[in-house]
Structure 1
Amino acid sequence: MNIRRATAVSELMGADHLYDRPARPEWAERFLAAPGHLMLIAYADDGRPVGMVSGIEMLHPDKGTEMCLYELSVDEAHRRRGVGRALTEALAEAARERGCYDMWVGVDTDNDAALATYRSAGGEDDGVCAVITWRFPAPGPAGGR
């Protein structure tokens, strides 16, 4: 397995099967152009993407920069082989290299697979928290604001 940072729209589109919904080229382009956004993709020996993790740097005037692990996905046929852990560890290393003071992720408390993956990669529970969401209408065809 080889883990690399995605730097081209074609790489993001090639990992489309790992996302919740179909990727859109214009959104992939915006993602790559946005400062502090990164996606690491795990490739099998045959070159096929088998996992991905995305991270977003978050900066605050009194805290500095932290990394939010935004999403982790591993192709079902490659689960329970250490891909998720390797991707999480690679994102944590990228966060350290970028000077982030920590990395965090929100996880549903009943998502045992995700919790096990993050714990095995050195993450620790900070306790229980609620996630409050504001839902907005879907963006138009241009995909942006």
Structure 2
Amino acid sequence: MRIGRATTVAELLAAAHLYDGPPQERWAEAFLAAPGHVMLIAYAEDGFPAGLVSGIEMLHPDKGVELCLYELSVDEAYRRRGVGRALTEALAAEARARGCYDLWVGVDPDNEAALRTYRSAGARDEGAFTMLTWEFDVKDR
């Protein structure tokens, strides 16, 4: 298994099976062009994208920079083999290399697979919190 940083639209689109929905070329281009965005892809021996993790830097005047683990996905055939943990550890290393003061992720409390993965990669449970969302009617989505 090799983990590498995605730097091309082609790499992002080739991992389409790992996203929640179909990736769009224009969004892939914008993701790569945006400062503070990172996508790491785990490749199987045959070059198949077996998993991915994305992160986004967040900066605040009184805190500095932290990295949010935005999404982790592992192809079903590669689950329970340490791919998710390896991707999470690689993103944590990326956060350290960028000088971030922490890496964080929000997880549904009943998502046992994600909780096991993040804990095995060294994450500490900060306790329950509530996430509130505003959804907007966006045209051309």
TM-score > 0.5 by shorter chain: yes
Corresponding residue of 1:133: 133
Aligned to 1:40: 40
Deviations 1:10-68 (Å, cap 9, x if unpaired)? 00000000000000000000000000000000000000100000000000000000000
Corresponding position of 2:16:
16
Q: How far apart, CA to CA, are the structure 1 residues paired with 2:6 and 2:66?
A: 20
Deviation at 1:139, TM superposition (A): 3.4
1:111 maps to which residue? 111
AA in 2 matched with 1:5 = R
**Aligned pair 1:102/2:102, yes or no?**
yes
Structure 2, unaligned runs of 5 or more = none
Structure 2 CA distance for aligned equivalents of residues 113 and 131 of structure 1: 20
Judging changes above 3 Å, is the alpha-carbon distance between structure 1 residues 125 and 12 closer, same or farther for their aligned structure 2 residues? same
1: CA distance, partners of 2:124 / 2:76: 25
The structural deviation recorded for 1:137 is 1.4
Aligned-pair Cα RMSD in Å:
0.6
Q: Which amino acid aligns with 1:91?
A: L
Post-superposition, which runs of at least 4 consecutive aligned residues in structure 1 deviate over 3 A?
none
Q: Distance in 2 between matches of 1:58 and 1:125?
A: 20
Structure 1: state its 5+ residue gaps.
none
Aligned residue runs from structure 1 range 19-98, under 5 A: 19-98=19-98
